[in-house]
């Protein structure tokens, strides 16, 4: 059988650089790090198995049946296989454009649990828009304040909701006091060392705005002038990871334009992100544009400016925090921080500077918790299996808190901890740094 791909745009995967399929030598070292393979033991649910399936479909040797597409849908796109791979396989650059082709052609498995109304109305129509989501959360915040949410659970009212909405209700965190949006500019404290812009995103800004405020204060404490563009938007990960390429491209161009506008008033040292999934998406803008056949130098240039907040602070040289934070905590590696962005030591180094903070190791820290963007809404059974696995490891540490640098992971881990009757706080690294710099109490 020839290794040449079928030359037709109707064939899923035909537009992917074929050499990327050939990079995989099928050694199997990725299998021990793949969350779905660890759970199912099915070779088709491993990275090399999925690469084989995608390549076979592209070659025309295998039809993209419901069974084949199911194995591809079940992938979390956590990219742990990229960390484990000795051959440098760019798995994300295979599965993501392949899924775009699948959605473009309306291909999905019979087992897909995502109704069309939920995908279009909630995943694409609500989550990417901060103001819409904040408005939608007002009744939930009121119900939590009055404890009506617990009453609804106790009498079974929530079971009357459609299953995807039940999942949303279950994952909903205790909603903190509603905070105002960040101002457009916050001045540096002390000597000005850098001029940065903060990416606020969508779900993170609606549910975890306190993390944005903490991030801004930490940056200010480290001599950064912080800008917050008003015209920025969702990063597009919700769309692209589920196969909706063109809406993701529109959002990418909007963000590039929003942050480029700041350079008219002077150089911008970095675009700071505090959500691992968003950071990974923003850094991939140049690649994604090429995959969608819309190569855009502006998107590639924008991507070079993007830095995770922990990555940036270590490069800048952090001011030493002096306020003790007496806490025993464990750190969970968000997949799109450690695998996609290769950032593992920077958060730990920053946390190690905090007086009084004891950081205890977490077994399988870099194995996905099951969040994976919207995966815990679209693939509830597998997400729960992975979430319980993560919580079991967390409980074994004896920690008093969990540290997570990704909003999706925070939602997932909090929900799974509650299910186990454990209400450990799940905190972002900057929330602890903010306290150590004399900021707000936790």
- 37: domain CATH number is 1.10.1060.10
426, 374: one domain: yes
CA 352-356-361 angle, 5° bins: 50
Domain count, the chain: 4
CB 426 within 8 A of CB 404: yes
CB 429 within 8 A of CB 398: no
Q: Of 316, 336, 351, which residue sits at a domain end?
A: 316
Query: Is 441 among the domain residues?
Result: no
When pLDDT is averaged across residues 205-229 and rounded to a whole number, the result is 97
Both structure tokens of 39: 């759970």
- The backbone torsions φ and ψ at residue 243, rounded to the nearest 5 degrees and listed phi first, read 100, 0
Query: Is 86 among the domain residues?
Result: yes
Q: Of 71, 104, 137, which residue sits at a domain end?
A: 104
**Lowest-pLDDT range, 192-206, 220-234, 284-298?**
284-298
Both structure tokens of 271: 């675009």
268, 379: one domain: no
pLDDT at 44: 95
pLDDT digits (tens, 9 = 90+) for 366-395: 999 999 988 998 999 999 999 999 999 999
126, 243: one domain: no
CA 53 from chain center: how many Å? 26
344, 368: one domain: yes
Among residues 98, 103, 1, 94, the alpha carbon closest in space to that of 47 is found at: 94
pLDDT digits (tens, 9 = 90+) for 94-136: 999 999 998 888 777 666 667 788 888 999 999 999 999 999 8
Share the mean pLDDT of the chain.
Answer: 91
pLDDT greater at residue 100 or residue 1 = 100
With H, G, I as helix, E, B as strand and everything else as coil, classify residue 227.
strand
Burial string for 326-365 (b: 16+ CB within 10 Å, else e) reads: ebebbbbbbbbbbbbbebbebbeebbeebeebebeebebb
pLDDT at 6: 36
CA–CA separation, 305 vs 268, rounded Å? 8
CA–CA separation, 372 vs 171, rounded Å? 13
pLDDT at 1: 32
345, 425: one domain: yes
When pLDDT is averaged across residues 145-170 and rounded to a whole number, the result is 81
CA dihedral of 255, 260, 263, 265, whole degrees rounded to 10: -80
Q: Of 316, 349, 384, which residue sits at a domain end?
A: 316
Q: Give kind and range of the element (H or E) at residue 328.
A: strand 327-332
CATH number at residue 227: 1.20.1050
Q: Which domain holds residue 160?
A: 119-171
pLDDT at 9: 52
With 50 as the cut, is the pLDDT of residue 356 above it? yes
With H, G, I as helix, E, B as strand and everything else as coil, classify residue 398.
coil
297, 196: one domain: yes
Among residues 221, 237, 235, 316, the alpha carbon closest in space to that of 273 is found at: 235
46, 151: one domain: no
CA 136-140-146 angle, 5° bins: 150
With H, G, I as helix, E, B as strand and everything else as coil, classify residue 293.
coil
CA–CA separation, 229 vs 305, rounded Å? 15
CATH number at residue 414: 3.40.50.1860
Contacts of 91 (CB under 8 A, 6+ apart): 47, 51, 79, 81, 82, 85
pLDDT at 344: 97
- Is the pTM value of this prediction over 0.85? yes
Among residues of the chain, what percentage have pLDDT more than 70?
A: 96
With H, G, I as helix, E, B as strand and everything else as coil, classify residue 158.
helix
205, 155: one domain: no
CB 54 within 8 A of CB 21: yes
CB 82 within 8 A of CB 339: yes
**Lowest-pLDDT range, 165-179, 183-197, 385-399?**
165-179
CA–CA separation, 134 vs 307, rounded Å? 26
With 50 as the cut, is the pLDDT of residue 78 above it? yes
CB 318 within 8 A of CB 353: yes
285, 383: one domain: no
- The backbone torsions φ and ψ at residue 247, rounded to the nearest 5 degrees and listed phi first, read -60, -35
CA–CA separation, 95 vs 72, rounded Å? 8
306, 344: one domain: no
pLDDT greater at residue 436 or residue 173 = 436
When pLDDT is averaged across residues 173-198 and rounded to a whole number, the result is 92
pLDDT tier, 41 (very low <50, low <70, confident <90, very high otherwise)? very high
pLDDT digits (tens, 9 = 90+) for 261-300: 998 777 899 999 999 999 999 999 999 999 998 878 899 9
């Amino acid at each position: 059988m020839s290794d040449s791909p079928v030359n037709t745009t109707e064939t899923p995967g035909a537009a992917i650089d074929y050499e990327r399929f050939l990079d995989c030598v099928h050694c199997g070292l990725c299998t021990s790090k793949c969350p779905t393979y660890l759970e199912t033991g099915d070779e088709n649910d491993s990275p090399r198995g999925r690469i084989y399936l995608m390549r076979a479909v592209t070659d025309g040797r295998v039809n993209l049946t419901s069974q084949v597409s199911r194995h591809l849908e079940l992938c979390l796109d956590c990219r742990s296989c990229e960390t484990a791979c000795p051959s440098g396989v760019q798995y994300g650059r295979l599965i993501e454009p392949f899924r775009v082709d699948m959605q473009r052609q309306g291909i999905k498995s019979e087992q897909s649990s995502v109704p069309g109304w939920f995908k279009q109305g909630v995943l694409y129509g609500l989550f990417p828009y901060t103001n819409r989501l904040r408005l939608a959360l007002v009744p939930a915040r009121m119900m939590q304040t009055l404890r009506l949410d617990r009453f609804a659970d106790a009498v079974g009212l929530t079971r009357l909701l459609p299953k995807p909405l039940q999942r949303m209700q279950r994952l909903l965190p205790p909603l903190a006091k509603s905070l105002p949006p960040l101002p457009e500019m916050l001045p540096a404290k002390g000597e000005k060392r850098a001029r940065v812009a903060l990416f606020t995103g969508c779900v993170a800004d609606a549910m975890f705005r306190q993390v944005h405020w903490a991030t801004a204060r930490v940056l200010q404490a480290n001599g950064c002038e912080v800008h917050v563009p008003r015209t920025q938007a969702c990063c597009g990960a919700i769309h692209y990871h589920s196969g909706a390429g063109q809406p993701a491209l529109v959002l990418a161009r909007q963000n590039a334009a929003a942050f480029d506008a700041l350079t008219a008033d002077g150089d911008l040292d970095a675009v700071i992100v505090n959500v691992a999934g968003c950071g990974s998406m923003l850094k991939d803008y140049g690649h994604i544009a090429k995959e969608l056949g819309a190569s855009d130098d502006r998107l590639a240039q924008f991507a070079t400016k993007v830095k995770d907040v922990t990555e940036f602070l270590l490069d800048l040289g952090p001011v030493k925090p002096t306020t003790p934070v007496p806490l025993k905590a464990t750190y969970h590696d968000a997949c799109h921080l450690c695998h996609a962005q290769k950032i593992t030591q920077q958060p730990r180094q920053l946390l190690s500077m905090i007086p009084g903070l004891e950081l205890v190791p977490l077994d399988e820290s870099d194995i996905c918790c099951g969040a994976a963007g919207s995966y815990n809404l679209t693939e509830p059974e597998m997400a729960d299996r992975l979430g319980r696995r993560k919580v079991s490891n967390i409980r074994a540490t004896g920690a008093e808190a969990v540290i997570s640098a990704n909003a999706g992971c925070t939602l997932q881990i909090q929900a799974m901890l509650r299910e186990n009757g454990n209400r450990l706080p799940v905190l972002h690294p900057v929330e602890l740094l903010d306290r150590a710099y004399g900021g707000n109490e936790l």
